[in-house]
Chain A
Amino acid sequence: MTREELEQIANTERQSQASTAQKLNVCVAAGCLSCQSQTVKEVLEKGVARRGLGERCAVKGVGCMGLCSEGALVSVDQNILYKRVLPADATDMLDALEAGRPPVERLVCPTNTPFFQRQKKIVLENSGVIDPERIEEYIAACGYTALVEALTELTPAEVIEQVTRSGLRGRGGAGYPTGLKWSTVAKAVGTQKFVICNADEGDPGAFMDRSVLESDPHRVLEGMLIAAYAVGASEGYIYVRAEYPLAIKRLKIAIRQAEKLGLLGSNICGTRFNFRVDLRLGAGAFVCGEETALIASIEGKRGAPRPRPPYPAMEGLLGEPTLINNVETFANIPPILRNGGEWFAAIGTEKSKGTKVFALAGRVQNTGLVEVPMGITLREMVFQIGGGVPDGKNFKAVQTGGPSGGCLPAECLDMPVDYESLARAGSIMGSGGMIIMDETSCMVDVAKYFMDFCMTESCGKCVPCRVGTYQMHRLLETITQLQAAPKDLALLEELCDLVKHTSLCGLGQSAPNPVLSTLRYFAEEYKAHIERNQCVAGVCGQEVHV
């Protein structure tokens, strides 16, 4: 594959796309599929064929358009968006299309709202636009040009230089500078090197990585290829959780297509660069998102973390230097190389560059997937993009970072969303899950929920996490049953300190965060439970037997 061949594929695809005047794009990512979007697509296809509109009208399946709560979503020519489309609505839509009438009003979703206007799409630029199961469409959208350019015109050091200059930080949660990680692996000595894509997304309420893989899998592959070239790796693994069958299916298709075009395999683009990618499916353990546990799992061992150092960059998979990045990090790489590191560094804040994809969930008007520049305030996220809390209820807290993160109250709403600010406030950026809670949520109950999660997901290797999370969960249970004594609160705080500072891996070290942040901002609620046997939100009190 040369640059000319790539351009030829892109041009042929663009011409064939231009030959149909009208395009009906139906979202076929997991969210909309659960709202029968597959049937919608089939009915539309049949309708188009029956009416003989095939010449000027094309129906295709595309990735996620973001507003998952209003699915199934169908866009017409990129300017009309239909929401809550059911198979029965297809006739009306096609009638309007055929007669050249204005769109069906009851289905139109306004796109001039902050939810769409405030977004800046880099990772998601192709989501909802291209067919994720066709490599030609990705190539027509400038896909794989960054790879070809890197392989034919840049040295590995120059690639790393661009990534370093972009200021990109790991999107998996910890925010480690990507350029620094790449150069460490590039300098490490080993007989072989590996690149691993961490797609073991496990935070409750988070679905960014799934959406990227379902909507634009080639972007992740291209990012991995560029990374492999930069660090000198010849083999890669994508570790996807088995709960994402659609993402796995589309990744398999993408890998096969890329291999067919010579973009994966031996002598890529006629150079000496070889790279093979394999999938590994996670068997449902949250801790396997931790890099050393993930590597153990790929090696076929029990998914338990090991102490670091040595870091995977020095001794990773099979003891060899290993680069391990999150899906979203890899997805940021092709545009960075296409547009240059400076372009990316101009977006965002001083220390957090670029954009971040967030999954908005919980008590908010618009739930779904959004990509915003770093540094946007939480208030904008919740009230403008999210559309505020529904049913006239009052906002109470926003939870970021999943079970490793914390709950931030209304006082924190004007804080910018970046790695440092969130950490200072007692939460973390995390992988990008954002759960909004209103006054009907009890914060002690929320803390108990996350502790329950950590307790059941602890691997059991180290004592503080194994027994500590159990004890903390038990104390939180006593509090939510309104049977706790004041000394229980002191015990809880003591355990938080112990587990946070002595646990082996990130799971245990961050497990107390939901408790610590709620203790910090909602101490009054804990007091009410313990001293007055009262739950303000009316959630706690009864013992629930499941």
Chain B
Amino acid sequence: MTASANVKTFQINGRDYSARAEETILEVARQNGIFIPRLCELEGLSTVGACRLCLVEVKGSNRLLASCVTRVEEGMEVTTNSERLERYRRGIVELLFTERNHVCSVCVSNGHCELQFLSQKLDITHIHYPYRFPKAEVDASHGRFVIDHNRCILCNRCVRVCDEIEGAHTWDVMGRGIDARVITDLNQPWGTSDTCTSCGKCVHVCPTGALFEKGRSVAEMEKRRNFLPYLQLMRGDQNG
């Protein structure tokens, strides 16, 4: 950061804040303890604006803006919480629950799951859209890790961490729409992947129990993400 850093002042929920021009609304909110839900964004990874949970209202814009990709601007008036935003957020989380098979009681991540935490935070007690109950695969061909597509919410964090931090790009997405799913290499069993370095970063950035370590039983899979900010700091400006 140079001495002439461009600082913006603006309001979030009626209170004044200031931040560097390149910071996003979500970053500023996090620094100041303002809760904005999100599932795809993760500190240390690039942003994609895919989960749509971090949408906020900005005065003067007729659209809702994803706070993870919207940079702060001078005089901006942001609302992170309103009846409308709450309704949309609940709707999106409910849609996620109907998409695949999220059964918390038998999930390795029970109690440590971001989707579960968010639904509690948003007071979701019932899902009022019909469940899909798709037949999803579990790939346990890797020596140490498992991918359970039943729990995947397609947040893309595994794809990004593998590409941006580990540099292996083992993960990617195939198919489109409701049939989209993450794959390893060219859709081959994870255990046969030539590119996977078995670093386990994907497992630990996964917000749900979709990616977990072998040998973990119900509620035993806790994710450790401290390495991300650390790696980012140590690599400094190399990765921008």
Contact = CB atoms under 8 A, between A and B. Distances in A.
A501 interface: yes
B180 A460 contact: yes
B52 A502 contact: yes
A501 B52 CA distance: 10
Interface string B40-66: 000000001111110100000001101
For the complex, would chain B's binding face be called helix, strand, loop or mixed by DSSP majority?
loop
A458 to B, nearest CB: 4
Interface in A459-473: 459-464, 466-471
A460 B153 CA distance: 11
Contacts of B175: 460
B89 to A, nearest CB: 9
A458 B175 CA distance: 10
B119 to A, nearest CB: 14
Contact of A307 (B69, B95, B98, B172): B69
Contacts of A464: 52, 91-92, 95
B96 interface: yes
B177 to A, nearest CB: 4
A56 interface: no
A457 B177 contact: yes
B99 A467 contact: yes
Nearest to A504: B49
Contacts of A462: 49-52
A306 B48 CA distance: 7
B176 A460 contact: yes
B130 A466 contact: no
A278 interface: no
A491 B177 contact: no
Contacts of A460: 154, 173, 175-180
B96 A463 contact: yes
B176 A467 contact: no
Interface residues of B, number: 33
Contact of B50 (A463, A468, A498): A463
B88 interface: yes
Contacts of A307: 48-49, 66, 69
Given A307-B66, A502-B52, A494 B180 contact: no
Contacts of A491: 128-129
Contacts of B144: none
B52 A470 contact: no
A458 B49 CA distance: 16
A370 interface: no
B95 A468 contact: yes
A306 B53 CA distance: 16
Contacts of A456: 176-177
A462 B173 CA distance: 13
Given A302-B173, A460-B173, A470-B132, A501 B178 contact: no
Interface string B175-213: 111111000000000000000000000000000000000
Contacts of B179: 460
B49 A466 contact: no
A161 to B, nearest CB: 30
A238 to B, nearest CB: 24
A456 B179 CA distance: 9
A93 interface: no
Contacts of B48: 306-307, 461
Contact of B92 (A285, A306, A502): A502
Interface in B148-172: 153-154, 156, 172
Contact of B91 (A457, A498, A504): A498
Interface of A: 285, 287, 302, 306-307, 455-464, 466-471, 474, 491, 494-495, 498, 501-504
Interface of B: 48-53, 55, 63-64, 66, 69, 88, 91-92, 95-96, 98-99, 128-130, 132, 153-154, 156, 172-173, 175-180
10 contacts: A306-B49, A457-B176, A458-B177, A460-B173, A460-B179, A461-B50, A462-B49, A470-B178, A474-B130, A498-B91
